[in-house]
Amino acid sequence: MESMNPLLFKAHPLLRLSVELLTDPAAHGLGAYAKLISIYALVNVGWAGCLVGMAGRMAGLRLSWWRAYLLSAPALLYIPAMITVLDDVVKQEFRLADRVILLVTLAVLAQMLAAWFGLAVRYRSGEPLGLSQGLAIALALLLLAIPCCLLLLGLDSAFTIL
């Protein structure tokens, strides 16, 4: 009998496909993974714009778009967990007992991304941005994930993306 992964309990197809891409790449065809990667690539454009704006506003940094695009890629981990939680909220089926693992995952991810942005984004002198400003960027991207995931849910229900 196969053990049930609590992270994938009643998961949105985006979360399930993302996990299967890492654990069992042969489970789906190239077309499904191409859709998944293109969704992530397009969402990362918004993340990069937010990173450029936040770094400029908070620290006076002027990041290039390509550098911001690469630095903001780890924030894409917000999307599968957030879209699963918001899918339950939209369908009015949210139960904290079912989603506590995903909510804790989002909280831990925000802290990990705070450290990432605090250390990876640097001033011209080479000094890191700092953990407090890294946390502000990570939380801004977490808040940006909410309307982005709602938009993805709307597009998925209208055009069956996944």
Largest Cα separation within the chain, whole Å, is: 57
pLDDT at 3: 54
Name which of 75, 94, 49 is nearest 145 in CA terms: 75
Q: Is the pLDDT of residue 113 over 80?
A: yes
Tell me the average pLDDT across 9-38. Answer: 88
Is pLDDT at 90 greater than 80 in this prediction?
Answer: yes
Q: For the residues 123-132, what does the mean pLDDT come to?
A: 89
Q: With residue 39 as reference, give the H or E element that holds it.
A: helix 30-59
Q: How many CB atoms lie within 10 A of CB 25?
A: 9
For residue 128, which amino acid is it? P
Give the CA distances from residue 106 to residues 37, 43, 77, in Å, rounded to whole numbers and listed in that order: 21, 17, 9
Decide: 114 and 45 in contact? Cβ < 8 Å. no
Q: What is the mean pLDDT of residues 28-44?
A: 91
Q: Tell me the two tokens of residue 57.
A: 């506003």
Q: How many other C-beta atoms lie within 10 A of the C-beta of residue 39?
A: 20
Whether pTM exceeds 0.85: yes
Nearest in space to 21 (alpha carbons), one of 13, 75, 62: 13
Backbone angles phi and psi of 62, in degrees to 5: -115, 95
Supply the pLDDT for residue 1.
38
Percent of the chain beyond pLDDT 90?
62
Q: Give whole-number Cα distances, 104 to 79, 123, 149, in Å.
A: 14, 32, 18
Query: In a 3-state reduction of DSSP, which class is residue 128?
Result: strand
CA atoms of 12 and 34, how far apart (whole Å): 18
Sign of the alpha-carbon dihedral angle for 155, 88, 105, 112: positive
